[in-house]
């Protein structure tokens, strides 16, 4: 049975400029109330988790932060002076759980270097200390997200496991109650074998949210069920981390990675949910912001077709809820 989408990635600026064509400029103009509005919109679709993509963003020629820190300057031209406070305080009210990003504290495209660099790690750990000091009292702040995502080329690389375990060890010194989440890709080429199970045993994270890679055209919904079924067996054998999905609800306007993200059609998204739901503890999407907008939104950002996707998914969610109630009645 299809699960509803239970959470979403979230961002203040989309890191890939071409992909964020339809919402980056609007988001920079948002005040605190508009950021709060986006959280309420997410709640209106029954979502209960938010994964914050980045707390700072580093390019080859510039860097900016979305909170007050001595590491990087605050984002120039950003209307809201504390967007993290805005979303967390509204998430407190709405009962949404937020995973706060530990990146990017090196150039966002330099994933391998970011994982191993002592300088990047030192900046990230200092940021984590500052983020926890500033926002750790929020009930909605439930965990950390490690955004330097890796491709699982058959198995995790030793460098990625070391990266996760070092960050988790440090995170536990700040607050051992906070959960940790990663979202690797390569779901279509990994080997969920004995070696992979052993790696899951050694990986100190609470949640692995695998990218379904449908939006980036590496997989199709008729393929992903088999991938997640194999992952379910591996996670059940290990028993250490939860298995979530990072389901892509976008399509590209043109070339992959080099053009704007647009909302996918609801039929494809329904097929994606159908394929993977039974194998995943939770299904999150990438992402609400920019790809869905409530028709009455006072914080509109994204392509006009984002309203259509919001309404189409709202109807699908109501249908799923009705089906669940019917099943209960038959028991």
pTM over 0.85: yes
Task: Choose among 243, 228, 237: nearest CA to 194.
Answer: 237
Phi/psi of residue 284, nearest 5 degrees:
-100, 160
- Chain centroid to Cα 6, Å, comes to 12
The superfamily in CATH containing domain 7-330 is Glycosidases (3.20.20.80)
Q: Which two tokens stand for residue 227?
A: 């991938």
What is the pLDDT at residue 328? 54
Task: Choose among 309, 282, 280, 316: nearest CA to 294.
Answer: 309
64 close to 57: Cβ distance less than 8 angstroms: yes
Q: What is the mean pLDDT of residues 148-163?
A: 96
Q: Rounded to the nearest 10 degrees, how much is the dihedral formed by the CA atoms of 291, 294, 297, 301?
A: 10
179-225: pLDDT as tens digits: 999 999 999 999 999 999 999 999 999 999 999 999 999 999 999 99
pLDDT band at 1 (very low <50, low <70, confident <90, very high): confident
Match 């088999």 to its residue by tokens.
226
pLDDT band at 324 (very low <50, low <70, confident <90, very high): low
Our CA angle for 57, 96, 309, nearest 5°, is 75
Q: Hey, which bits of the chain come out as E strands?
A: 7-10, 49-52, 56-58, 63-65, 97-101, 141-145, 179-182, 207-211, 242-248, 250-252, 261-263, 282-286
* Calpha distance 197→192 (Å, rounded): 7
Q: Rounded to the nearest 10 degrees, how much is the dihedral formed by the CA atoms of 129, 203, 3, 224?
A: 130
Average pLDDT, the chain: 96
Whole-number Cα distances in Å, 105 to 17, 111, 163, 249, 319: 18, 11, 14, 27, 42
pLDDT band at 331 (very low <50, low <70, confident <90, very high): very low
Whole-number Cα distances in Å, 296 to 40, 50, 206, 299: 12, 22, 37, 9
Q: Where are the domains of the chain?
A: 7-330
What is the pLDDT at residue 330? 41
pLDDT band at 329 (very low <50, low <70, confident <90, very high): very low
Q: Hey, which bits of 53-147 come out as E strands?
A: 56-58, 63-65, 97-101, 141-145
């Amino acid at each position: 049975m299809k699960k509803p989408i239970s959470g979403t990635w979230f961002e203040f600026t989309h890191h890939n400029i071409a992909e964020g064509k339809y919402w980056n400029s609007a988001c920079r103009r948002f005040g605190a109330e508009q950021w709060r509005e986006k959280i309420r919109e997410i709640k209106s679709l029954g979502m209960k988790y938010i994964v914050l993509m980045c707390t700072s963003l580093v390019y080859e020629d510039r860097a900016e932060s979305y909170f007050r820190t001595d590491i990087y300057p605050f984002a120039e031209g950003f209307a809201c002076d504390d967007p993290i406070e805005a979303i967390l305080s509204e998430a407190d009210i709405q009962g949404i759980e937020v995973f706060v990003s530990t990146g990017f504290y090196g150039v966002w495209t330099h994933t391998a270097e970011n994982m191993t660099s002592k300088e990047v790690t030192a900046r990230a750990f200092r940021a984590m200390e500052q983020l926890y000091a500033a926002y750790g009292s929020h009930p909605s702040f439930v965990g950390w997200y490690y955004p330097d995502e890796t491709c699982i080329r058959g198995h995790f690389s030793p460098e990625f496991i070391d990266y996760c375990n070092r960050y988790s060890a440090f995170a536990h010194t700040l607050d051992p109650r906070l959960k940790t989440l990663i979202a690797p890709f390569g779901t279509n080429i990994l080997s969920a074998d004995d070696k992979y199970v052993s790696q899951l045993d050694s990986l100190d994270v609470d949640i692995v949210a695998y990218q379904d890679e449908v939006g980036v055209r590496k997989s199709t919904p008729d393929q992903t069920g088999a991938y997640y079924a194999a992952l379910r067996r591996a996670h059940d054998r290990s028993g250490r981390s939860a298995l979530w999905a990072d389901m892509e609800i976008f399509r590209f306007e043109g070339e992959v990675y080099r053009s704007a993200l647009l909302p996918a059609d609801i039929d494809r998204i329904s097929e994606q949910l159908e394929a993977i739901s039974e194998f995943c503890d939770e299904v999150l999407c990438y992402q609400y912001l920019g790809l869905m907008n409530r028709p009455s939104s006072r914080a509109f950002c994204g392509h006009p077709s984002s309203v259509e996707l919001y309404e189409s998914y709202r109807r699908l969610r109501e249908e799923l809820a009705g089906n669940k109630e019917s099943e209960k009645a038959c028991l």
